[in-house]
Amino acid sequence: FTFVQNVVFYVGEKNTRSQKAMEKIGAIRKGNAARAYGNHPPALNVKYVIQKRDTLRLEG
């Protein structure tokens, strides 16, 4: 987090394994978002965020 204040991840709506992994590393679920990848139509994703201030609190 030297150069950014937060990191955003988008995980497939049905990808529960990756959603659990995001929560395990401390990412906070921030809702859903439709995202298009390449030439594919938009698909529903879950948005996760890790904020710098939250990691500083953990290092404490």
Our count of domains for the chain comes to 1
pLDDT one-digit tens code per residue, 20-50 = 999 999 999 999 999 999 999 999 999 999 9
27 within a domain of the structure (yes/no): yes
pTM: 0.84
Other CB atoms within 10 Å distance of the CB of residue 27: 21
Q: Is residue 46 part of a domain?
A: yes
Tokens (6 digits) for 35: 């995202």
> Encoding tokens for residue 7?
């990191």
First to last CA, the chain: 15
Q: Is residue 1 a part of any domain in this protein?
A: no
CA angle 7, 33, 52 (to 5 degrees): 15
Domain assignment of residue 34, given as a range? 6-59
Cα–Cα distance measured from residue 46 to residue 25, given in angstroms and rounded to the nearest whole number: 15
Say if 34 falls within a structural domain: yes
